[in-house]
Amino acid sequence: MRNASPTPARNPEEDDFLSSVREGLRQRPKSIAPKYFYDAHGSHLFDLICTTPEYYPTRTETGILDRHGAEMAAMLGASCVLIELGSGSAIKTPLILRHLSDNAVYVPVDICEPHLRQSTQRLQAMFPALSMQPLRADYHRLPAYAIKHHARQRQVVYFPGSTIGNCTPQEAVQLLKSIADLVGPGGGLLIGVDAKKPIEMLNAAYNDAAGHTAAFNLNLLTRMQNELGAQLDATQFAHHAYYNETHGRIEMHLVSRCRQTIRLGTESFPFAEGETIHTENSYKYTAHEFRQLARMAGWHLKSTWHDEDGLFNVHYLSL
């Protein structure tokens, strides 16, 4: 009997992307999870967004860390295991690492391999004595990890950038619970959370004049074409982002400019003119709202640092 030809190995992440897109386009309203923004190009576009004058969160959080980093490190414990979720380019991380002792351990966790490699190399060159254990992984699947550390070292998750805002409040509570399971009793969480503020400022932040946010949103369609062989005309979709006051969140959508169809494998997904794919939510929380949310996951707020204008909060929580 002849051997059957081997099935080509499939990348599980491609399968994940394929099944998520397929399921998301079958839903009404259509949606795709924001974690798929971050291929290498999407991560680069996100870095560009962070440099725009309209996108205040990055520079505001950086200012807070710069001013209060020493105080934060003292609360975490200078020889802790610092686990950064979705570390990306880890631009702000030195503002904490510079206050840690040489026996601290830094564990960057990111889904994007080139970003993880480059940022770990850069940080290792800046802090040669610090032990680093980069972990390429999807932080939405936290419970699977076992991070090597000494029993007496406190484990602290560092989750900057208000990435928690990209979860629904229910998902945020689940994520905060899995962070609690990961760090265990005595563990901590240092987290950056974007605050509520005037609508005009929020809308401008997600509609930058340089068009980086639009390119970031539309890159999802390019990924679908390149990685999944989707047949679509990306020029017939437009970026749309606005603050939804009822839900306290920015919503990002890809709006169909005309009646058209996306083809994915054997399946067709028709769009009416004006119909959207909902690609992201970005929730904004007052310090009080975030404290309540964290409490539902078993966390106690220990300290909050913010900028002069109250645009952004960095919280330290313990179990």
| Of the residues 161, 169, 187, 188, which one makes contact with ligand AVI according to CB under 6 A | 161
Answer yes or no whether residue 163 interacts with ligand AVI by CB under 6 A: yes
CB distance 47 to 119 below 8 Å? no
Six token digits for residue 260: 């058209």
Q: Tell me whether residue 213 or residue 276 sits nearer to ligand AVI (CB atom).
A: 213
Tell me the backbone φ, ψ of residue 207, rounded to 5 degrees: -140, 55
37 close to 280: Cβ distance less than 8 angstroms? yes
In whole angstroms, the minimum distance from the beta carbon of 126 to ligand AVI comes to 23
206 forms part of the interface with ligand AVI (CB under 6 A): yes
Minimum CB distance to ligand AVI smaller for 100 or for 179? 179
Indicate whether 280 belongs to the interface with ligand AVI (CB under 6 A).
yes
Residue 164 beta carbon to ligand AVI: minimum distance, rounded to whole angstroms: 8
- Residue 60 or 155 having the CB closest to ligand AVI: 60
Query: What's the min distance (Å) between Cβ of 96 and ligand AVI?
Result: 18
The reply to whether 160 sits near ligand AVI by the rule CB under 6 A is: no
Written in H, E and C, the secondary structure of 150-207 is: CCCCCEEEEECCCHHHHCCHHHHHHHHHHHHHHHCCCCEEEEEEECCCCHHHHHHHCC
Q: Does 84 bind ligand AVI (CB under 6 A)?
A: no
Please provide residue 247's backbone torsions phi and psi, each rounded to the nearest 5 degrees: -95, -5
Rule CB under 6 A: say whether 60 interacts with ligand AVI.
no
* DSSP conformation class of 32: -
Our CB check for ligand AVI shows the closer of 105 and 193 to be: 193
CA distance 98 to 90: 13
Number of residues that bind ligand AVI (CB under 6 A): 11
Tell me if 282 contacts ligand AVI by CB under 6 A: yes
Dihedral pair phi/psi, residue 181, rounded to 5°: -65, -40
CB of residue 161 vs ligand AVI: minimum separation in angstroms? 5
With CB under 6 A as the contact rule, the residue among 49, 104, 221, 294 that binds ligand AVI is: 49
User: Which class for 140: exposed (0-12), middle (13-18), buried (19 or more C-beta within 10 A)?
Assistant: middle
Decide if residue 139 touches ligand AVI (CB under 6 A). Answer: no
**Between 256 and 282, CB nearer to ligand AVI:** 282
* Closest CB to ligand AVI among residues 100, 293: 293
Q: Between helices 212-228 and 40-49, what is the axis angle to 10°? A: 180
User: In angstroms, rounded to a whole number, what is the distance separating the alpha carbons of residues 243 and 247?
Assistant: 9
Check binding of 31 to ligand AVI (CB under 6 A).
Answer: no
Q: Name the helix (H) or strand (E) containing 33.
A: none
Task: Select the residue whose beta carbon is closest to ligand AVI and give its number.
Answer: 282
Which is closer to ligand AVI, CB of 200 or CB of 266? Answer: 200
Token pair recorded at residue 95: 């503002």
Residues contributing to the site for ligand AVI (CB under 6 A) = 49, 57, 161-163, 165-166, 206, 213, 280, 282
